[in-house]
Structure 1
Amino acid sequence: MGTRAEVLNVLHSGGVVILPTETVYGVAARADRPEAVNRLYAIKGRDFDKPLALCVSGMDAAKNYVTFDRLAKRLAKKFWPGPLTLVLPARDPSLFTRLAPQLYSTAPDGTPTIAIRCPDAIWRTEITFAKIEYPVALTSANRSGEPAPTQASQASKSLGYDVDDMLLLEDCPMEEASTIVSLAESPPRLLREGALPLSALKPFGIT
């Protein structure tokens, strides 16, 4: 278990680490390092056809990877940083550092998409090197099929022996995974109700 600076340095260097969020503890790797992302999948025992969420510090960074329509901007301004993951159309990968293929999915019309999130986490604004933010792939820090850990002890017990470092702080206050909404299809679709209740999204036309 390291300090925040130590754990983020391991993450920057291509390691796989455990990080806390406001929802559940997550296991993370740099999303632009395919070998690190592959190792994250192996540690978790996750099917490679299940994409990971991309975590960024805010909307400005997110615009490097996805496109925002009016509704997406409204939702991000209202709920970021926070427990809302948005599935949005991916930007042309030639415009930015190429992401690992496991970050991409496909909308019903064939549009490439990315699930993107801005967690309300203490490390959110520190995922930088030489003042350039690097993208982070994140999923819950548990073996696939097991409950997502909301306590530091649970995360450590689940994956602690396999990752390179861990930032173990307080228990996750929301104790539930993020809510996922797809805006890459019409009408927008709720994919998973989590820490952000559907009632908070209904004023935006999400049902």
Structure 2
Amino acid sequence: MKKTEIFALSSLKTEELSYIAKALLNGASAVIPTDTVYGLVVCGKPGFLRGLNEVKKNPPEKPAQILCSAEQALLLSEDCPGLKAAFKFWPGALTAILPASCAGKKLSGLDTIGLRVPGGALTAELFKLTNCPLYASSANMHSLPTLEKEEEVLSVFEGKADIIIKGGFLKAGPSSVIDFTCCPPKMLRRGALKDEELEILLSKS
């Protein structure tokens, strides 16, 4: 069993955040609180996705969502109506499936890419310190329910992930997932967005 380093978001120091960013750049996995649910993340670098899937007991090549800054989203996706629609709700609880740019294809391994620009200071600082997007998946073992409480996260991921950042009880629910490569766009998961917000997004082509 690996040693998991545990931090509390409420008392996270600048030097601790820098340490976590360096660890991620060196291949560490981390469970972090986001503006939706706890997420398991690794740096978006070649070969690192396998580490995320190993922790979650996923199939080795299972694709992951990409958490990124707004600037990174522009580099990872082709310019298209779906990207423009997504930006109306970013930062926020929307994962947009979009045509991938050349850089995006290298990251996703596919012609499409699932991007989310999250809100919150923690992810914004990690993007800045690593200069890297994050492969991300909800904090749960493969096919099991997403975890909302830090006690559950510790119970499941201590000894599996390299780092855990405790953030209390997260009840926003997972992001809504919309595939903008279809015409009209297709909702793949209802998630945290409100019905009226989903109607606006699904009307975009």
- TM-score tier by shorter-chain length is 0.7 to 0.9
For 2:149, which of 148, 151, 154 is the aligned residue? 151
Classify the secondary structure of the residue corresponding to 1:62: helix
Give the structure-2-normalised TM-score: 0.83
Q: Distance in 1 between matches of 2:145 and 2:203?
A: 27
Aligned residue pairs total 191
Q: Distance in 2 between matches of 1:134 and 1:156?
A: 26
For 1:91, which of 101, 107, 110 is the aligned residue? 101
Residues 16 and 39, structure 1, Cα contact 8 Å, conserved in 2: yes
Counterpart position of 1:118:
117
Give the structure-1-normalised TM-score: 0.83
For 2:59, which of 47, 61, 85 is the aligned residue? 47
How far does residue 26 in structure 1 lie from its aligned partner after superposition?
A: 0.6
Q: Which AA in structure 2 matches 1:114?
A: I
Percent of matched pairs sharing the same residue: 24
Classify the secondary structure of the residue corresponding to 1:161: coil
Q: Which moved more, 1:119-128 or 1:61-70?
A: 119-128
Structure 1 residue runs of 5 or longer lacking an equivalent are 106-111
More helix by share: 2
How far does residue 121 in structure 1 lie from its aligned partner after superposition?
A: 2.9
Q: Distance in 2 between matches of 1:25 and 1:183?
A: 25
CA RMSD of aligned residues (A): 2.2
Classify the secondary structure of the residue corresponding to 2:119: coil
User: Structure 1 residues 204, 163: CA separation in 2 closer, same or farther (over 3 Å shift)?
Assistant: closer
How far does residue 146 in structure 1 lie from its aligned partner after superposition?
A: 1.3
Moved over 3 A (4+): 204-207
Residues 97 and 177, structure 2, Cα contact 8 Å, conserved in 1: yes
Structure 2 residue runs of 5 or longer lacking an equivalent are 1-5
